[in-house]
Amino acid sequence: MQPQSHTGSYYAATAGDTTDFAPLLGEQHADVCVIGAGFTGISTALHLAERGYNVHVVEASRVGWGASGRNGGQIIGGIAGEKNIAKHHGKDVDDLFSELRWAGHDIIRQRVKQYGIQCDLKPGYLDVAIKQRHLREFAADHERLVKADFPHEIKILTKNETRDLIGTDAYIGAHLNMGNGHLHPLKMCVGEARAAVSQGATIYEQSPVTRIEHGHKARVVTEHGAVTADFVVIAGNAYHNLERKLRGVMFPVRSFIIATEPLPEATTSRINPRDVAVCDPNFVLKYFRLSADKRLLFGGRINYFGEDPAFIRQKLRQKMTTIYPEFANIRIDYAWGGTIGVPVTRVPQLGRIAPNVFYCQGYSGHGVNVTHLAGRIMADAVAGTLEQFDLFADVKPFIVPGAYLFTKPMVALGVLYYQIKDRL
């Protein structure tokens, strides 16, 4: 059962507008019922409401309570698992994905503009290299973008240029991409929820769905009410364990973030004068950026399943000082964690468990962009256009035996495996 308030994150403390939609009561009817009010659910609902569907969203806790309201806020291009999709379809991944890779970015920008969403949206992103093979990957990525006439500034940076941009010697080079960017994810999610309501959607909070009754019309049931709908979209991602068929299809991996005290201008102009988001390519990665009020938001993966802010603070301070030793004693005001869905194939999981019950989950930590694309694809699927949906749905999820029952040891093993792989 999800708690009824947001986690103790920097985002929850600074969201300004937080939602307080009434719980689901009594029997309701809709064209589409969406379960979960993170980016996937809200984005789907907004796409559908804009097309004139009567959409009801049922959320166990609050809009943006899950990964969507807690993440690094980094808007990253591309879709995890692209190679596996290409392998499955036997076509050139570039042809298949040229529009899809950046579609989420366009949807985010367009919504921010159209609905006036104040979410600290900024351009700029830096992939940083720890190993020579990372530099080779960046060079290939760069070449592909140049060939595709990518309309934003992109540049391969030397070690010295990287140091000039982010004030650390920790990396051997980088790839700057001003087409990517960052935002305050909870403000964005709440802004999109308000937009969906303005287009006629209904949102219920504090309403955990306890079961789905399948049939010609599906009935989504909570303790005090139900929504009967022509279609259901399950968008509970790593926080969902309602449907048996979806158990064990992805690893629930934890990621954590700390927010320092606000930094003086002299420091921010040294460590991040262009205000870009930064991320390394490891699975057990480090990622960081400045917030609008100039805190360092520093994130990473650790093998931990709890929520103890003191423990998270201690572990991430250690990681942060490998990049910025000068922050060894800096005050850390917020520390929190969240859960990400990682499929074995890394391919986002779009599919259906019944003819009229769709699901959409598992973005492997790259969900800010891809959830927005996924929302559009789910709305298309409900409307009967399945071309893009099938690109993903045809790659069947790999079920990990025991992943559902033995989550913690399985995830610990998985993280250990990737830690070793990162070092190679």
Ligand X SMILES: Cc1cc2nc3c(=O)[nH]c(=O)nc-3n(C[C@H](O)[C@H](O)[C@H](O)COP(=O)(O)OP(=O)(O)OC[C@H]3O[C@@H](n4cnc5c(N)ncnc54)[C@H](O)[C@@H]3O)c2cc1C
Work out the burial of residue 407: count CB atoms within 10 Å of its CB; fewer than 13 is exposed, 13-18 middle, 19 or more buried. middle
> In whole angstroms, how close is the CB of 91 to ligand X at the nearest point?
25
> Which residue in the set 44, 74, 202, 345 belongs to the binding site for ligand X (CB under 6 A)?
74
Supply 285's token pair.
Answer: 């990665």
Task: Write each residue from 142 to 181 as x if it is in contact with ligand X (CB under 6 A), else as -, in one continuous string.
Answer: ----------------------------------------
Given the rule CB under 6 A, which of 32-40, 46-54, 139-147, 407-415 is the region that contacts ligand X? 32-40
What is the number of the residue whose Cβ is closest to ligand X? 367
| Residue 78 engages ligand X in binding (rule: CB under 6 A) | no
| Residue 70 engages ligand X in binding (rule: CB under 6 A) | yes
Given the rule CB under 6 A, which of 62-70, 84-92, 141-149, 313-321 is the region that contacts ligand X? 62-70
> Which residue in the set 78, 208, 262, 281 belongs to the binding site for ligand X (CB under 6 A)?
208
CA angle, corner 12, sides to 9 and 16, nearest 5?
Answer: 150
| Residue 65 engages ligand X in binding (rule: CB under 6 A) | yes
| Residue 35 engages ligand X in binding (rule: CB under 6 A) | yes
Work out the burial of residue 176: count CB atoms within 10 Å of its CB; fewer than 13 is exposed, 13-18 middle, 19 or more buried. buried
Question: Which of residues 22 and 146 has its CB atom nearest to ligand X in the complex?
Answer: 22
Residues 6+ apart with CB under 8 A from 304: 254, 256, 311, 312, 315, 337
Question: Which of residues 6 and 134 has its CB atom nearest to ligand X in the complex?
Answer: 6
- DSSP secondary structure string for all residues of 197-211: HHTT-EEE-S--EEE
- 151-51-231-201 Cα dihedral, nearest 10 degrees: 100
Q: Which residues pair with 129 in a beta bridge?
A: 173
| Residue 37 engages ligand X in binding (rule: CB under 6 A) | yes
CA angle, corner 242, sides to 69 and 205, nearest 5?
Answer: 45
Question: Which of residues 91 and 211 has its CB atom nearest to ligand X in the complex?
Answer: 211
Nearest to 72 by CA among 316, 240, 249: 316
CA pair distance 41, 39, nearest whole angstrom: 6
Number of residues that bind ligand X (CB under 6 A): 46
| CA-CA-CA-CA torsion sign (70, 74, 77, 80) | negative
CA pair distance 113, 120, nearest whole angstrom: 12
Task: Write each residue from 226 to 255 as x if it is in contact with ligand X (CB under 6 A), else as -, in one continuous string.
Answer: ---------xxxxxx-x------------x
**Is 349:391 a contact under the CB 8 Å cutoff?**
no
Residue 147, φ and ψ in degrees, nearest 5: -60, -35
Given the rule CB under 6 A, which of 54-62, 108-116, 321-329, 401-409 is the region that contacts ligand X? 54-62
CA pair distance 262, 264, nearest whole angstrom: 7
| Residue 317 engages ligand X in binding (rule: CB under 6 A) | no
> Which residue in the set 46, 72, 376, 388 belongs to the binding site for ligand X (CB under 6 A)?
72
Three-state DSSP state, 228:
strand
Question: Which of residues 93 and 302 has its CB atom nearest to ligand X in the complex?
Answer: 302
Given the rule CB under 6 A, which of 91-99, 140-148, 195-203, 336-344 is the region that contacts ligand X? 336-344
Question: Which of residues 76 and 410 has its CB atom nearest to ligand X in the complex?
Answer: 76
| Residue 44 engages ligand X in binding (rule: CB under 6 A) | no
| Residue 316 engages ligand X in binding (rule: CB under 6 A) | no
> In whole angstroms, how close is the CB of 297 to ligand X at the nearest point?
9
| Residue 56 engages ligand X in binding (rule: CB under 6 A) | no
- Residues interacting with ligand X, by CB under 6 A? 2, 35-41, 58-61, 65-68, 70-74, 76, 208-209, 235-240, 242, 255, 257, 287, 299, 338-340, 361, 363, 365-369, 371
